Amino acid sequence: MFSRLALFLLLLNSAKADVTLVGNGKPAAVIVTPDKPTRVVSYAAEELARHVEKACGVKMQIVTESEVKAGPRIVLGPCRESGIASAKLAPEAFRLRVTDEEVFIASDDSGGDPLESNTRAGTLWGVYEWLERDLGVRWLWPGELGTFVPKKKTIIAKTTDETIAPRFFRRHIRPGLGFESEHPALGFTKEAAKQYSDEQTVFLRRHRMGRSESISYGHAFTDWWQKDGKAHPEWFQLLDGGKRGPKKKGGRFSMCVSNPDLAREVVMRWSAKRPPDATSPAFINAVENDIPGLCTCENCRALDGPAPADYLTFYPPDSKVAGTRFVSDRYAHFWLNVQRQAPAGATVIGYAYFNYFSAPTSGIRLNENILVGFCPSAGWFPRSEAEHAWMKQQWTGWCETGARLFMRTNHLLDGYCMPFIFAHQFADEFHHAVKHGMVATDYDSLTGHWATQGPNLYVAARLHTRPEASAEELLAEYYAAFGPASAQVKNYFDRWEAYTTDSHEKISQAMQATQTSRWRNWAKAAHLLYPPECFLAGEKQLAEAAQAARGDEEAAARVKFLQLGLQHAKLCAQVSAKLTLAGSTATKDEIKQVLEEMLAFRRAHERSFISNFNHLAWVEDLSWKLSEETKQTPDLYP
């Protein structure tokens, strides 16, 4: 520790360049905004003041540039004196400049709601960057308890002059706020849902989720058969037997992607909808429908490359991919065809999905105006080493075609609310993607089980701004927030990660035996993978963590948060054992009785942010034998 004199000398020494914002518990600077700040700048100023206050108890004053007097200041947004040409910065990029007595943070912010993901909010990103660097702020989970701000009496902005742009033009973990259930009593009350949603939205922006370019895509042809099937059956899949279109009336269908008229039609329809004066980057959606590529026509088949020997190795036998033909190359050709017919500079979007997920083998060359979403139908975490390596190879293979890639996996939907940890493997995949050309992310979806899956979620969010940081570094940040219990909490999650990794085979077997989907109805099998005895060691570890955290109120509250998560997970696994659709014979009265404790727990803790209960209600509806009671609103029942 520094003596007072040493601290004084240190401050004196650095005074030339660094800026003291709070000196020994006294405000030493003000926050300055333009006279007419945008909503982004006003919000950035509030966020800055809020976190500084949390660090030292000092409320920094927010003033406009016309009101400000001489003296140290932190200047946000396009103020006259900042001299930062914000308009020349790349979208969402910000400049952070700390010089004599002044800190400047500015960007080319757009108007609009700072919490809306389409709003360009670089000034806000600059504030968050500074809070992380010089204040050591870490956002662990939504809400006040998840906001870690080290206590300090003196706050100094360290000298720097940098321009920082987000690494990915779109950073997105789908927020998972739209889950609906036939049994809403299992979920949040209306008010709790709103609070959860508000806090999570703030949290995601703190991790800089958003986008520089407006982009939309999705299965592109879902209504085409209905509208165009009669006039243009040749645009649609040819089935064995010579029929075009869906197998069954109203069923899903894929397209005849070798047909050059289809590619032309995609561009024409896009062009017709695009305003003639549009200046935004052009994205053309050419994502196949939600079904394997099934066209059997000669032209489509002629485009297919040789199927790799391991093409189907990592799909379970009941996968939609099992038994299908390998068709990646025809899709690569299709996107290239669309792109060649599109105006220069337009980007065509496709998914590497189902039987066109594996990297192409024909040697086809794509280019940077083709953007491919990496969307495997397998590869759930934890993976065997061989499977993990195979998944990464597919990414590299697509990257080598010359296309740009974005992560569009569904793997975060896995695991229900169990202590299901795969942070290291997840980070390894992310790092591999970053090294091989990843330009954006779109993860489906954030299920929000913060108290049991915190390490996965923290690493997933934080990699978006620290893409090179190792899982160890990021997890060390997370554990540090548990203060004197950090070592115990690390041991606790390390143990669950080992438990998860070791369960690799067991998970696949249990899922197959109970016909459970990893993303839809995990609660059918939760009891098989998390029997009561598996919780004992974790409970003991958290009791030790609680002991270590005694005397540190904040750390103790965070340990308590983990304990609530574990207690809740154990209750849910117990209910799964009794109500699983894979065999439950419970009567109406028994169902009511089995759910009683779990529902009472949810009502008592729904404001704690341990879990997104609406996600759980959605999963459980599809997993459990339930009766009428839980069809009521949670505001009335239990």
In the bound state with Zn ion, the residue whose beta carbon lies nearer, of 355 and 614, is 355
Query: For Zn ion, which is the closer residue by CB, 111 or 241?
Result: 241
CA atoms within 13 A on the CB side of 187: 27
* Among 84-92, 193-201, 290-298, 431-439, the segment contacting Zn ion (CB under 5 A): 290-298
Distances 404 to 132, 420, 437 between C-alpha atoms, Å: 30, 31, 6
Least Cβ distance, residue 236 to Zn ion (angstroms): 9
Minimum CB separation from Zn ion for residue 465, in Å?
43
Place of tokens 């308890």: 145
Name the one range near Zn ion by CB under 5 A: 253-261, 339-347, 432-440, 614-622.
253-261
Burial class (CB in 10 A: 0-12, 13-18, 19+), 225: buried
Q: Edge-to-edge strands of the sheet including 26-27?
A: 26-27, 19-23, 155-157
**DSSP assignment of 238-305, as one string?**
BPTTS-BS-SSTT----B-TT-HHHHHHHHHHHHHHS-TT--SPPEEE-PPPSS------HHHHHHPP
Closest approach of Zn ion to the CB of residue 299, in Å: 6
User: Which region, judged by CB under 5 A, interacts with Zn ion, from 297-305, 404-412, 488-496, 546-554?
Assistant: 297-305
- Least distance to Zn ion from the beta carbon of 224, Å? 14
Is the CB of 300 or the CB of 342 nearer to Zn ion?
Answer: 300
CB of 253 to Zn ion, least distance (A): 12
- Contact in structure between 578 and 586 (CB atoms under 8 Å): yes
By CB under 5 A, which span of 256-264, 336-344, 429-437, 472-480 interacts with Zn ion? 256-264
For residue 289, the minimal CB distance to Zn ion (Å) is 14
Considering beta carbons, is residue 256 or 282 the nearer one to Zn ion?
A: 256
Is 19 a binding residue for Zn ion by CB under 5 A? The answer is no
Give the residue, chosen from 256, 312, 423, 595, that forms a contact with Zn ion under the rule CB under 5 A: 256
295 binds Zn ion (CB under 5 A): yes
Q: Nearest approach, Cβ of 262 to Zn ion (angstroms)?
A: 9
Contacts of 88 (CB under 8 A, 6+ apart): none
Question: For helices 486-502 and 423-435, what crossing angle results, to 10°?
Answer: 80
Q: What are the φ and ψ backbone dihedral angles of 139, each rounded to 5 degrees?
A: -105, 105
By the 8 A CB rule, do 555 and 140 touch? Answer: no
Least distance in angstroms from the C-beta of 336 to Zn ion: 16
Of residues 293 and 419, the one with the C-beta less far from Zn ion? 293
* Minimum CB distance to Zn ion, residue 261 (Å): 12
| CA 599 centroid distance within chain | 28
Tell me the closest approach of the beta carbon of residue 300 to Zn ion, in angstroms: 3
Does the protein bind Zn ion through residue 263 (CB under 5 A)?
no
Q: Based on CB atoms, which residue is closest to Zn ion, 300 or 562? A: 300
AA letter at 194: K
Residue 272, burial from CB neighbour count under 10 angstroms (0-12, 13-18, 19+): exposed
d(CA 128, CA 107): 13
**Binding status of residue 481 toward Zn ion by CB under 5 A:** no
d(CA 258, CA 268): 17
Closest CA to 425 of 392, 451, 397, 394: 392
Among 297, 327, 438, 460, indicate the residue that binds Zn ion (CB under 5 A): 297
Member of 79, 300, 459, 549 binding Zn ion (CB under 5 A): 300
Nearer to Zn ion (CB atom), residue 55 or residue 295: 295
Choices 35-43, 251-259, 348-356, 621-629 (CB under 5 A): range interacting with Zn ion? 251-259
The answer to the question of residue 98 lying near Zn ion (CB under 5 A) is no
Q: What number of chain residues touch Zn ion (CB under 5 A)? A: 5
Interacting residues toward Zn ion by CB under 5 A? 256, 258, 295, 297, 300
